[in-house]
Chains A and B, each alone.
Chain A
Amino acid sequence: MDAGRKEKEIKLILAAVVVLFGVFLVWPMIMIAIQSFTSDSGVGTEGYKTIFAMKGFGTSIKNSLITSGLSAVITSALAFVMAYTVSYTGVPGSYKKFIKTIAFVPMFLPTITYGFAIIYAFGRQGLITRLLGGRQFFDIYGYPGLILGYIIYTLPISFVLIYNTMGYIDRRYMVVSKILGDDALRSFSTAVLRPLTGTFAASVIQCFALSFTDYGIPNAVGGRTDVIATVLYNQMLGALPDFNTGSVVAIVMLLPSAASIILLTYIERFNIRYKTVSEIELRRNYFRDISWGIGAGIIALFVIGIMATVFIVPFVKSWPYETSFTLDHFRKVFSDSELSGVYRNSIYTATLTSIFGTLVVYGSALASSRSNLGKTGKKTIESISLVTNTIPGMVLGIAYMLLFSGTPLQNTFTLIIVCNIIHFFSTPYLMMKNSLDKMDSSWEDTARLMGDNWLKTVVRIVTPNALPTLAEVFSYYFINAMVTISAVIFIVGSETMVLTTKIKELEHYQQFDDIFVLSLLILLTNLAVKCIVHIITIRKKGRLKTNEKEN
């Protein structure tokens, strides 16, 4: 390989990435594992014995498994109905857009907010309860609330997965199946369900892992029903913090979630990817359109019903007693220097997370996708991406708390930002890598023959063409940094409070008006960022159609 590229820059990037993830991912994880095997009486499995003997711990694991599992299946089914309506029926385009938007919206809010939104929608004085004549159909605290919350939380992810796969399924299979004499049911099963099996499984597993490790929802609507996330929180930040037991619970939480993500990566290999995707005209079928349309509509209404509280409560004097319009709550939040300071903190954290996160992601993806780096180098980056995906936010946060308490990094913005970058690394990395993989592989060589060095090519060619994806990565980091609570709750300090952790604090003082104002601020900020990115992406993408082979 004497004549090959030297690529000093790539090796430097790889080294930096390895150091970053070594210090802030591998080391903390090793420490928490060691901690879990340490107790007052020395080294051993003492901690594990104690925790499994502890009253209620088994029940909380069972609760976690049941609620997460059940909601994962329900969510995937609901997301399927929505995605099918958008992809395979002839309902009007505007209605499809509406369904799509509703399926995405929950992404822009923290899970802790859904919890409170559910209380305000289905509680005794809730919006929906009142609309239904004051009758409460179920007690929202416990299983129903948890499942409801998990469903809303994971609906966007499940929808994206299923909707994207539907986009890859060749529509001609519908025609082929019909021509070969299948009836409606059989053709639905061969042309839609069968190709979706892998994605459906992936969706269930992904939703399960997310719900299993979420803290925001059980915190709000768990009531007396303990789940593993609440146990973990109480061990670490409760009345009697116990780091040893806490780290044992963290490991117990890590194992199922890690197992499911590894299973997920395994399943993804079997996913069917059709090479050519041809659009065919849908047959007109009013029965199909109306029935799927109504199904998707009901789901959308249910999401809107819960989300509506986020829009209504902040503008109402005192829900549910005085329902006249007011802006007092907003005025109060903005005049409260502490609350507006928290908002600024969140914007600051999210912006810096996005900037540095995008850089880390871009560097890693360049190294793995557009370099002659050896197998080991590329494997390292792939493994980092997989590992970050398996580690729940709470576990990462607790590991940081154990490791960085007493160091200058404790409670700093730096630590929060690094934590976010690592916690959310996997998805944007894969986004970036896919986009770089699709670019013409001869660009670097061509540019080098015209006198560029590697860095110059990256600046002049690769980056301008990667701009839409870079913008998407930026917004992914931004939105997640705005809504995350699981990891940061363990590492924020009084000076570095962000909106989600502030909401948790306000809950303690029952200040729900403020909670909803802050939630709405998060939602609006995220929507604004998403819109800006969308505009950039559309404008750039129009210009950057890859050169197709035509004459």
Chain B
Amino acid sequence: MEDIYLKHKEKEMNEMLQLKGIKKSYGGKIVLDGIDMDIENGEIVSILGPSGCGKTTLLNIILGITGCDEGKVLFNGEDMTGVPMEDRGFNIVFQDYGLFPNLTARGNIVYGLKNRPEITTVEEVEELIRLLDLEDHLDKRIDQLSGGQKQRVALARTLVMKPKVLLLDEPLSALDGVIKESIKERIKTIAKRYDLTTVIVTHDPEEALTLSNRVMIIENGKISQYGRPEEIITTPQNEFVRKFILHQLEIKRNNILTLFGGDNGARLAVREG
């Protein structure tokens, strides 16, 4: 326990995003209660939970669209709680991307440069476009893009603003199969390339555990468990994590194993039963 504490102290010196005792209620109903969270610089963290657990509200509090009743949002030790959304230097890709249909893909990507031309150079924009493999789609209208392309355009548009923290609201939920995996890889690549702190909200345990360095599981507005994916798998801290997170993954695994070869699948099915 002691060395964890020391590590913790050490981290506080580093660049990081911290939530302290966040509490939020709507009309008397408590949505979030006592949320504490540290996110290291360059780390990908997922907030995982069923719908209605308060995870999107938490994301909105970090972003600054929503205020909180109690608690603090700190970035590099600086109190951000009262700072307006646009002055925090965080940025988000919303669930349905929020692309502007009256502009082309390119128009969307460079949208922010009209307001702050100095923020990103032409070369940097070009690199981003290459990194997200968007060269061939720049002049397309939004409704001509596929879901995966839309997601990449939205990512590019946000990254042009050089956010200090990148927030992603259900980034994969509208995508299917193979595209999901490729977007996952891109998110990882980008977080690494730009050393970008990334917070992802998702309801899908598989997504959360395969994409992030750490996962925060929320149940009914409270932290259920916060840890690295392997910690959650090996040492689930409570019934909720075991039942809803691990159980789901096991069913998935068994289904897949059954598909690929009878023996393993059957054995696991017995163990699970």
Residues of A within 8 A of B (CB): 1-5, 440, 442-443, 445-452, 456, 460-461, 464-465, 543-551
Please tell me which one of the listed residues B67, B90, B98 contacts residue A2 in the complex, with CB atoms under 8 A apart: B67
Q: List 24 A-B contacts (CB under 8 A).
A: A2-B67, A2-B81, A3-B81, A3-B85, A440-B98, A445-B65, A445-B85, A446-B92, A446-B98, A447-B100, A448-B86, A449-B90, A450-B111, A450-B115, A450-B157, A451-B86, A461-B100, A547-B96, A547-B99, A547-B145, A549-B174, A551-B147, A551-B148, A551-B175
Do B143 and A1 have beta carbons less than 8 Å apart? no
Do B146 and A450 have beta carbons less than 8 Å apart? no
Q: How far is the CB of B222 from chain A (nearest CB, A)?
A: 23
Please tell me which one of the listed residues B85, B99, B141, B146 contacts residue A449 in the complex, with CB atoms under 8 A apart: B85
Assembly CA distance A508 to B176 (angstroms): 73
Q: Please encode chain B, from 89 to 103, with 1 for each CB lying within 8 Å of some chain A CB and 0 for all others.
A: 011101011111110
Assembly CA distance A220 to B111 (angstroms): 59
Assembly CA distance A460 to B102 (angstroms): 9
Q: How far is the CB of B224 from chain A (nearest CB, A)?
A: 27
Q: Please encode chain B, from 52 to 66, with 1 for each CB lying within 8 Å of some chain A CB and 0 for all others.
A: 000000000000111
Do B91 and A549 have beta carbons less than 8 Å apart? no
Given the known interface contacts A3-B65, A442-B94, A451-B116, the answer about A465 and B161 at a Cβ–Cβ threshold of 8 Å is no
Chain A residues near B98 (CB-CB < 8 A): 440, 442-443, 445-446
Do B85 and A450 have beta carbons less than 8 Å apart? no
Assembly CA distance A2 to B81 (angstroms): 8
Do A447 and B175 have beta carbons less than 8 Å apart? no
Main secondary structure of the interface of B (DSSP, over half): loop
Assembly CA distance A461 to B98 (angstroms): 11
- The chain B residue with its CB closest to the CB of A445 is B65
Q: How far is the CB of A8 from chain B (nearest CB, A)?
A: 14
Assembly CA distance A442 to B157 (angstroms): 14
Whether B227 sits at the interface, judged by CB under 8 Å, is no
Whether B142 sits at the interface, judged by CB under 8 Å, is yes
Do B143 and A547 have beta carbons less than 8 Å apart? yes
Given the known interface contacts A449-B91, A543-B141, A545-B101, the answer about A551 and B179 at a Cβ–Cβ threshold of 8 Å is yes
Residues of B within 8 A of A (CB): 64-67, 81-86, 90-92, 94, 96-102, 111-112, 114-116, 141-143, 145-148, 150, 157-158, 161, 174-176, 179
Q: How far is the CB of A465 from chain B (nearest CB, A)?
A: 5
- The chain A residue with its CB closest to the CB of B180 is A551
Chain A residues near B65 (CB-CB < 8 A): 3-4, 445
Chain A residues near B147 (CB-CB < 8 A): 549-551
Assembly CA distance A4 to B142 (angstroms): 29
Chain B residues near A440 (CB-CB < 8 A): 94, 96, 98
Assembly CA distance A515 to B176 (angstroms): 65
Given the known interface contacts A1-B67, A3-B65, the answer about A550 and B146 at a Cβ–Cβ threshold of 8 Å is yes
Extra 15 A-B pairs, beta carbons < 8 Å, given A448-B85, A449-B85, A460-B111: A3-B65, A3-B82, A442-B96, A446-B94, A446-B98, A449-B91, A449-B92, A450-B112, A450-B157, A465-B100, A465-B102, A544-B143, A547-B99, A551-B147, A551-B148
Assembly CA distance A442 to B91 (angstroms): 13
Chain A residues near B101 (CB-CB < 8 A): 465, 543-547
Assembly CA distance A448 to B88 (angstroms): 12
Chain B residues near A452 (CB-CB < 8 A): 115
Chain A residues near B99 (CB-CB < 8 A): 547
Q: How far is the CB of B60 from chain A (nearest CB, A)?
A: 9
Assembly CA distance A257 to B89 (angstroms): 55
Do B100 and A443 have beta carbons less than 8 Å apart? yes
Do A449 and B148 have beta carbons less than 8 Å apart? no
Chain B residues near A446 (CB-CB < 8 A): 92, 94, 98
Please tell me which one of the listed residues A3, A456, A551 contacts residue B146 in the complex, with CB atoms under 8 A apart: A551
Q: How far is the CB of A200 from chain B (nearest CB, A)?
A: 36
Assembly CA distance A447 to B98 (angstroms): 9
Do B102 and A464 have beta carbons less than 8 Å apart? yes
Chain B residues near A546 (CB-CB < 8 A): 101, 143
- The chain A residue with its CB closest to the CB of B68 is A3
Assembly CA distance A3 to B81 (angstroms): 8
